[in-house]
């Protein structure tokens, strides 16, 4: 039995190694969508630089990675929701805010997720006749931030408002507080003492919310007054570096 199990395991590994990697043919223009309520709609650009067509389906969910187009309910309309994308062609997704049955909060951003599902065409040609093959549908998920009009401050300066203090409980950690109406994403964090980024010290902080930032490799959180360097991701998907201090 052990020999059979090992043989099956080896065969499975060999099959996986023989399989070509799955690559998305459809390229999305951007890594996030910042939807301006003042505009009322937004456009996401897609391109297909490959030599093959693809079937594309798009929808928006509220954070469930297992969502499907027929199971979601959001105040947005995407057009076209389903389409064929030919090789070396571009396509625009138009996103429209419909308000729905309940308006979104006007004093802070709201977070949604844009899903773009790519289904490759069925392989054709004599080389596939009578042979087994695997096909992968590839789904990309992008954060969609709904930004109400006339929010105080601005998204560029919002990360400078973050405050940090030592966290209570087991393990060295900091609590990052976001006093702004914008979602803020920390992509790295380090202390001026050694300047080395701390593994896992990342995360997204909701408007007016807190985030516990674990400090792996440290016995205790840094003392009050310790300078901090942290990076955040801006509206364009780029990284901005900021300075802070551990509060008492």
User: Which residues neighbour 11 within 8 Å (Cβ) at sequence distance 6 or greater?
Assistant: none
Separation of CA 2 from chain center: 43
- Report the pLDDT value the prediction gives residue 218, as an integer from 0 to 100: 85
Residue 197 to residue 181: CA distance in whole angstroms:
27
173-219 residue pLDDT tens = 999 999 999 999 999 999 876 667 888 899 999 999 999 999 988 88
| Better-predicted residue by pLDDT, 103 or 179 | 179
pTM of the model: 0.84
User: Which residues neighbour 214 within 8 Å (Cβ) at sequence distance 6 or greater?
Assistant: 171, 172, 173, 200, 201
Residue 106 to residue 143: CA distance in whole angstroms:
19
The CATH code for residues 158-247 is: 2.60.40.10
User: Which residues neighbour 94 within 8 Å (Cβ) at sequence distance 6 or greater?
Assistant: 41, 42, 43, 78, 79
Residue 184 to residue 76: CA distance in whole angstroms:
23
- Report the pLDDT value the prediction gives residue 133, as an integer from 0 to 100: 61
State whether the Cα torsion 191-196-199-203 is positive or negative.
positive
Structure tokens at 83: 């389409």
CATH 2.60.40.10 domain locations along the chain? 24-147, 158-247
CB 181 within 8 A of CB 153: yes
Beta 110-119 vs 138-147: how paired, if at all? antiparallel
- What is the percent of the chain where pLDDT is above 70? 84
Structure tokens at 132: 């087994």
23-56 residue pLDDT tens = 568 999 999 999 999 999 999 999 999 998 999 9
Residue 52 to residue 87: CA distance in whole angstroms:
5
| Better-predicted residue by pLDDT, 13 or 20 | 20
Structure tokens at 2: 């052990």
Pick from 28-32, 40-44, 66-70, 124-128: least confident = 124-128
Residue 9 to residue 12: CA distance in whole angstroms:
5
CATH architecture of 24-147: Sandwich (2.60)
Q: Name the β-bridge partners of 38.
A: none
Please compute the mean of the pLDDT values over residues 131-152 and round it to a whole number.
88
- Report the pLDDT value the prediction gives residue 4, as an integer from 0 to 100: 37
Separation of CA 22 from chain center: 20
pLDDT at 2 over 60: no
140 confidence band (pLDDT: 50, 70, 90): very high
State whether the Cα torsion 105-109-111-114 is positive or negative.
positive
Structure tokens at 203: 């995360």
Please compute the mean of the pLDDT values over residues 4-28 and round it to a whole number.
50
């Amino acid at each position: 039995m052990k020999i059979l199990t090992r043989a099956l395991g080896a065969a499975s590994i060999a099959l996986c190694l023989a399989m070509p990697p799955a690559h998305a043919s459809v390229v999305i223009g951007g890594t996030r969508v910042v939807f301006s309520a003042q505009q009322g709609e937004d456009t996401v650009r897609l391109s297909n630089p490959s030599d093959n067509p693809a079937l594309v389906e798009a929808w928006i969910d509220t954070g469930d990675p297992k969502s499907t187009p027929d199971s979601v309910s959001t105040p947005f309309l995407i057009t076209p929701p389903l389409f064929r994308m030919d090789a070396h062609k571009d396509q625009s997704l138009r996103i429209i805010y419909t308000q729905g049955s309940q308006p979104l909060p006007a004093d802070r951003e709201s977070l949604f997720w844009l899903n773009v599902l790519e289904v490759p065409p069925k392989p054709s040609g004599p080389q596939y006749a009578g042979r087994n093959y695997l096909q992968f549908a590839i789904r990309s998920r992008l954060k969609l931030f709904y930004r109400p009009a006339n929010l105080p401050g601005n998204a560029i300066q919002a990360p400078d408002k973050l405050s940090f203090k030592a966290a209570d409980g087991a393990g060295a950690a900091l609590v990052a507080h976001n006093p702004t109406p914008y979602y803020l994403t920390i992509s790295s964090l380090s202390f001026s003492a050694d300047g080395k980024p701390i593994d896992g010290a990342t995360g997204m902080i909701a408007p007016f919310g807190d985030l516990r930032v674990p400090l792996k490799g440290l016995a205790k959180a840094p003392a009050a007054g310790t300078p901090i360097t942290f990076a955040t991701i801006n509206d364009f998907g780029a990284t901005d570096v900021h300075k802070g201090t551990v509060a008492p």
